[in-house]
Every structure is written in structure tokens, then in C-alpha cells.
Chain A
């Protein structure tokens, strides 16, 4: 009798602890997936903006062909990339190409003054910020997940929950990561 009184609560506490640890690992894993999906959503948004941007720049600066081509190529690569590392690398290249394009646009006053271009500028700058913040949120989620996976006692349930440490979203140029603010 006395042993049962002692053992049953202990077993219950142990059980609750297992469930809580398991759930928190699974939850961290799911939110990391969601965070990555959000990056892809924002990258898609940006890819959708580019044809419009290229068209409006072409109207004023058709002979800047190499810059325009660089953007188009980078966009094609970005839309077909898969996996965290692949998407991240293509994303980095597109960011660089876009910056080149916007730098070119600086020297065309007519282009800069066109209403279409001004509206695109706001769209593009918010999308760049959104891409950057989605990356940052993903990396924060990965940081939390990896911490749980690698630290005791949550590390005990890694096998049970079928989760593992994930790779950070690293844009090729490390400077791109902490510059979510485009200046036109």
C-alpha cells in the first residue's frame, strides 16, 4: 500500500515530463518547418515582382542589358532552387543582382521619377525586409530547436520524437543577413 502511494505519483510525474519534453521537441520542429515555408512564400513574392521591375527599368535603360540579364538569370535560379542551402544560395545571388539593378536605376532620373517605379520601390523594399525577417525568424527557430536537441534532458527524447538538429539559413554573403534595410 505505502509503496503504491509513493510510486504512483512518481510514475505520473515522470510520464508528464516525458509527454511535455516530447511535445516541445515536436512543436519546435513544426515551427521550424513553418518558418522555412514562410521564407519560400516571401521569396516567391519577390520573384513575382521582378518581371514587372525589369520591364519598367527596360523602358528607360534598355542598354543596361548585362545588369538586367543578371537579375533574370538569378530569378530563374531562385525559383528552381531546393533545400535550405540551395534556396539560401540562390536567394543571396538574387539579392546581389537586385541591388545591382537598383544601383543602375539611380543614374536614370526619368526612371526614378516614374510612378510605376516608385510603387515598385516600396513593394520591393518591404519584400526585401520580409525576406530578411523570415530568414531571421527561421534561424531563431533553428537555434531553439538545435538547443533543445543538443541539451540535456530534452536531448533524451530526440530519437523518440524523430527530430534532429537543422542547418541555419546562410546567405552566401554574410553581410546580406544583417542588412534588411535597402536604401534607394
Chain B
């Protein structure tokens, strides 16, 4: 994040552009893997591409389309009504007015760690959930910031973005796995398909591409996730025009050392504060930017109002 990008409009623009670049890089990676396969194994291997993409698409599409009910089950979230928490609903309605979005479903997760998430395939199916603890420790402005961050994920369609990223990363993983097997076990039979005088350098490069592509795909996927988190912070400020609320909320999350009980990898990326980021997790593999960085950017926005 460049320090010169100060106001939320610039930050939103920068993070959107970076998402497109990263998704473009994902596409380029798919192309590189296919190219490597063709160099190494011959043109007939391209038949694997639609199979790999198909498998990835089928496996991700379900979890995207049914994300609301699936995530609710995995996290144990329970839908609540207005009577259960009028103040929370007041706050959600405020953010809806600020964003022009429809009122989402609101859910509660019984958990002693403060956290929150948003899910659902589109704004009509959006669910935003809060742990019981976050509702206890946040004041009105802080909770408004948290809600704005979650509603930003809804507005920016981050369930879709992460589904696209997961599909591409999945396709690359399946593709290179299949191609490696083909390589080791002697291939597709049609040896004549290979170009005759192959450049040995091209073969080595192809092999390296095939080996490294899955890791690169995971790195790109987490980078996209981090950009979407930064974008959600910037969009939240666009909604509330109050960076201090979200900043104080993140500071409270930073001081809190508890993590949500569900430490499932599958849903880690959707929480406002990642439940997985321990000391050992490298920043490159993390689904969220470090809290210190997010707080610093919000502070910068406080100092430079639009």
C-alpha cells in the first residue's frame, strides 16, 4: 500500500486495480502452465485443461452459490430478528442507508472471541454475522465500523471475487498435479506429438513452471484476499466517513488475544480478523493484511479527511 494514497476514494481505486492485476496474473499463470505442458508433453495434453477447470469450477461453484447456508453451518451462526438486538439492527440499518444496500440477514455466533464475517453470493442473499463477544466489547461507533467493513464485502461482491480466485488456483493445482503424473508415468501415448528438436532450456523452464505454479497460485489467491480486505476497510470509510470508529475496533481486536473456536481453514478468510494468523504464518500466505498496517492506513485517513 503506497503511503501517498490517502483518501478512501484513492484507496478504493488502488485496491480495485490491484485485484484486477492479480486476477490477470492468475490468468497468465494458467496460460504459462498450459504452455509448459505443451512444450514438455505435446499438444494433446491441452485436453486436460478443460477437465481441470471443470473440476475446479464444480467444486467451487457449490460453495459459492450456497455460501450463505454453508458458512452458517460451518461457523454455527444463528439468524436473529430485530427484537433480539434492536441496537444492532439500528446500526445495520444505518450502514444500509449509507451504502444503499438492502438490509442483510443478521446472525450471531456464540463465541468468546470478538470477530465478524459477511457471506452470501450476492447482496440479496447476504448474511453478516457477529460473535457474541464482539457485541459486548465494541461501542456504538466501533460496531458501526465493523458492520460497515462487513457490508463493504457485500457491496464489493467479495464472495464472488474469492470464488473466482479459488477456482483459478484450484484449476492450476489440479492441472499441474495431473501433468506431473503424466510426466512420471510416461504420458499420453502419442509421442509423435512432441516437437522433435526441443530446446533443453525450454524443457527445464517448463518443468520449473509446473512445479512452482500451484504455490504461485496460492500466493496470488492470498494476495487477492488481502487486497479485498484493504478495499473493504476503505469502502467502510466511504460508507461511514468515520475512519476512527473502525480503527478503534481493529485496535480492540489487536489487543484481544483470543481467537474464534472454529479454526477451520476453509472459512478463515471470511472473518474480519483472521483466526489463523499465528506467529508462524508468513505474511505472504496470510488472507488478511497485518492489523498494524490496516490501523496505520485508517489513521492516515483520519489525518487526511476528504
Contact = CB atoms under 8 A, between A and B. Distances in A.
How many B residues touch the partner, as a band? 10 to 19
Interface of A: 31, 35, 38, 42, 122-123, 125-126, 129-130, 133-134, 136-137, 178, 180-181
A126 B141 contact: no
Contact of B97 (A31, A122, A125, A133): A133
A27 to B, nearest CB: 13
A124 B87 CA distance: 12
Contacts, number: 39
Q: Which A-B residue pairs are the 10 nearest by beta carbons?
A: A126-B90, A133-B98, A133-B97, A129-B94, A134-B97, A130-B97, A130-B94, A137-B100, A133-B94, A122-B87
Question: Do most interface residues of chain A lie in helix, strand or loop, or is the interface mixed?
Answer: helix
Given A180-B241, A181-B141, A181-B242, A137 B90 contact: no
30 contacts: A31-B100, A35-B100, A122-B86, A122-B87, A123-B90, A125-B140, A126-B87, A126-B90, A126-B91, A126-B93, A126-B94, A129-B94, A129-B144, A130-B94, A130-B97, A133-B94, A133-B95, A133-B239, A134-B97, A136-B98, A136-B241, A137-B97, A137-B98, A137-B100, A178-B241, A180-B240, A180-B241, A180-B242, A181-B140, A181-B141
A130 B241 contact: no
A146 B4 CA distance: 28
Interface string B228-261: 0000000000011110000000000000000000
Interface in B179-212: none
Contacts of B240: 180
Contacts of A126: 87, 90-91, 93-94
Contacts of A181: 140-141, 242
Contacts of B99: 137
Interface string B99-126: 1100000000000000000000000000
A123 B86 CA distance: 10
Name which of B87, B98, B141, B239 has the most chain A CB atoms within 10 A of its CB. Answer: B98
A21 B144 CA distance: 36
A136 B94 CA distance: 11
A14 to B, nearest CB: 27
